[in-house]
Structure 1
Amino acid sequence: MKNFLVKTIANAAALAVAVWLLKDITLTGDNTGRTVLALVLVALIFGLVNFVVKPIVKLLSFPLFILTLGLITLVVNALMLLLTSWLAEKADLAFHVQGFWTAVLGGVIISIVSWAMHMILPDND
């Protein structure tokens, strides 16, 4: 349970940094409380997408990982962020990623911040 909470906090922080740095990734809310709640819900969706969909995509695109020496990871991360944006829209959350290249840059930012958060936060039980 603690590991799940740490990953959710790390995802929320990483998404918040991406929203703060990139003008084409937006998260809106009526007030601060609703914005934070939306951020946590988007972080949960993002974690679910990374847990369920990403391994399947990585398995199916394994030859591309070998061919591009792992650079296809940038595209996979961007697609996971775009899928999160689409699912958040369907869940009536005010999170939106506009464009593929914004998703690529957002994926890089989220990966770096998430890695840093995992270094800071304890994740063992």
Structure 2
Amino acid sequence: MLNFLTTLVITALSMMITSYIIPGITINNFQAALVAAFVFGIVNAIIKPILVFFTLPVTILSLGLFLFVINAICFSLVAYFTPGLRVNSFLDALFGSILVSFISSVLNSWLK
């Protein structure tokens, strides 16, 4: 349970930092970031594997680069389902998903 809460807070912090760096991504407050992090976890656990399965040929042909597009789609879905998170364009979602992953990885490695 503590690991889940730690991951949730780290993802929320990553989203807040990303919203300060990328002007096309806005988060109203930290509570909205926590909700977005929770929805992000659900989307990554349920919807992302389905997208990866159905786009496997394209992913193989692009040597895995299409996974960035899938991450951006998932990030856009999170913004759609979360009231306090707004993403202006697909490009913002693409860079935002990359930055959230990078910042989360750095914070996770820093804590462990």
TM-score (norm 2): 0.92
**Aligned partner of 1:106 among 90, 96, 110:** 96
DSSP-derived class of the 1:58 partner:
helix
Asked whether the equivalents of residues 85 and 95 of structure 1 are also in contact (C-alpha less than 8 Å), the reply is yes
Residue equivalent to 2:30: 36
The percent of aligned pairs where both chains have the same amino acid is: 29
Q: CA deviation at 1:81?
A: 0.6
Q: Which amino acid aligns with 1:75?
A: V
Residue equivalent to 1:54: 48
Residue equivalent to 1:117: 107
DSSP-derived class of the 2:64 partner:
coil
Q: CA deviation at 1:52?
A: 1.0
Residue equivalent to 1:63: 57
Q: Which runs of 5+ in 2 are unaligned?
A: none
User: Which has the higher Rg, Structure 1 or Structure 2?
Assistant: 1
Residue equivalent to 1:11: 11
When the two structures are aligned, how many residues end up with a matched partner?
112
1:25 aligns with 2:15: no
Using the alignment, how far apart are the partners of 1:50 and 1:40 within structure 2? Answer: 15
TM-score (norm 1): 0.83
Q: CA deviation at 1:6?
A: 2.3
DSSP-derived class of the 1:96 partner:
strand
Using the alignment, how far apart are the partners of 1:74 and 1:40 within structure 2? Answer: 23
DSSP-derived class of the 1:117 partner:
helix
**Aligned partner of 2:69 among 75, 90, 105:** 75
Using the alignment, how far apart are the partners of 2:84 and 2:32 within structure 1? Answer: 7
Asked whether the equivalents of residues 6 and 121 of structure 1 are also in contact (C-alpha less than 8 Å), the reply is no
DSSP-derived class of the 2:86 partner:
strand
Using the alignment, how far apart are the partners of 2:33 and 2:74 within structure 1? Answer: 16
Q: CA deviation at 1:2?
A: 2.3
Asked whether the equivalents of residues 57 and 76 of structure 1 are also in contact (C-alpha less than 8 Å), the reply is yes
Using the alignment, how far apart are the partners of 1:9 and 1:118 within structure 2? Answer: 11
**Higher RCO (C-alpha under 8 Å, 6+ residues apart):** 1
Q: Which runs of 5+ in 1 are unaligned?
A: 29-34
